């Protein structure tokens, strides 16, 4: 068993989650893999055990199911070997908002937003008490771009970004590192699972390069990592513009542009 903290990774059966598993195993961390597809996780775990020698537990769970969610929450709360949470599980739904079945939208919000919040909440008190630990939440640049017309998916990812930044302010002073990773288009199965035609997809970042960039940000303790963004000053300017508005939110009078029109 490794002396390094164990890493719990959701959505670990493929794509970004499976790649995080590979990278952390090669760093010498034991793993707890969580996803619906037990067979694929078993195959991944067997290969990584053979190649790296780390210990790996496989926990089949559908994070949209309340009972199965609670199983993962209990593991995070009680297993003090787990020192890193990778909140990666996510999905999308095909079509425009008015065409998406309400039941599919509800499942999407539960998986992409509610599960991220609940798993972070399950582990945060223990990390804060210990004065160490890391929570990595996988968001998306779509959360910054309503023009992409991926309304509910983008809204869930905006939630993940805000949650991560809020947690960083709350937990950072207590020794807990929180990172939001915001990928742009990356070559994973999320596209075909949402009904996209694989032949019509544009060029995308390879998932290994995405995760390696995210881990470089992790090692630097960046609060927000955007692997696709080459000009980091643009994010700095975005943050500065947002923070410049904060003092104005404390005023007690409406802005002059909202003054009532004079009645003749």
How far apart are alpha carbons 12 and 34 in whole angstroms? Answer: 6
Of the CA atoms within 13 Å of residue 168, those in its CB half-sphere come to 16
Based on C-alpha coordinates, what's the Rg of the chain?
20
How far apart are alpha carbons 64 and 112 in whole angstroms? Answer: 9
How far apart are alpha carbons 209 and 206 in whole angstroms? Answer: 6
258 annotated active-site: no
How far apart are alpha carbons 55 and 64 in whole angstroms? Answer: 27
How far the first Cα of the chain sits from its last, in Å, is 81
- CB contact at 8 A, 20 and 48: no
Which member of 20, 153, 177, 258 is catalytic? 153
**Helices marked H in 114-259:** 115-130, 151-171, 190-193, 207-219, 232-245
Q: Is 118 helix (H, G, I), strand (E, B) or coil?
A: helix
- Give 263: exposed, middle or buried? Use CB within 10 Å, 0-12, 13-18, 19+: exposed
- CB contact at 8 A, 31 and 48: yes
Token pair of 231, please? 């000009």
How far apart are alpha carbons 97 and 201 in whole angstroms? Answer: 21
What's phi and psi for 87, nearest 5 deg?
Answer: -85, 85
Active site residues: 153
């Amino acid at each position: 068993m490794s002396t390094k903290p164990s890493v719990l990774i959701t959505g670990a059966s493929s794509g970004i989650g499976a790649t995080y598993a590979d990278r952390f195993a090669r760093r010498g961390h034991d793993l707890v893999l969580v996803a619906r597809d037990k067979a694929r996780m078993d195959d991944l775990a067997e290969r990584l055990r053979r190649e790296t020698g780390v210990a790996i537990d496989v926990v089949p769970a559908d994070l949209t199911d309340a009972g199965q969610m609670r199983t993962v929450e209990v593991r995070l709360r009680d297993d003090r070997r787990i020192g890193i949470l990778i909140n990666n599980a996510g999905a999308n739904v095909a079509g425009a908002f008015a065409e998406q079945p309400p039941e599919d939208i509800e499942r999407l919000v539960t998986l992409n937003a509610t599960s991220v919040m609940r798993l972070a909440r399950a582990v945060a008190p223990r990390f804060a008490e210990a004065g160490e630990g890391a929570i990595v939440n996988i968001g998306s640049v779509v959360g910054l771009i309503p023009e992409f017309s991926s309304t509910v998916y983008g809204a869930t990812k905006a939630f993940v970004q805000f949650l991560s930044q809020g947690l960083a302010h709350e937990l950072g002073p207590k020794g807990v590192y929180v990172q939001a990773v915001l990928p742009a288009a990356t070559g994973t199965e999320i596209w075909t699972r949402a009904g996209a035609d694989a032949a019509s997809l544009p060029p995308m970042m390879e998932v290994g390069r995405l995760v390696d960039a995210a881990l470089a940000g992790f090692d630097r303790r960046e609060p927000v990592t955007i692997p696709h963004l080459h000009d980091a000053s643009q994010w700095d300017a975005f943050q500065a513009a947002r923070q410049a508005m904060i003092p104005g939110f404390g005023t007690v009078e409406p802005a002059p542009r909202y003054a009532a029109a004079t009645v003749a």
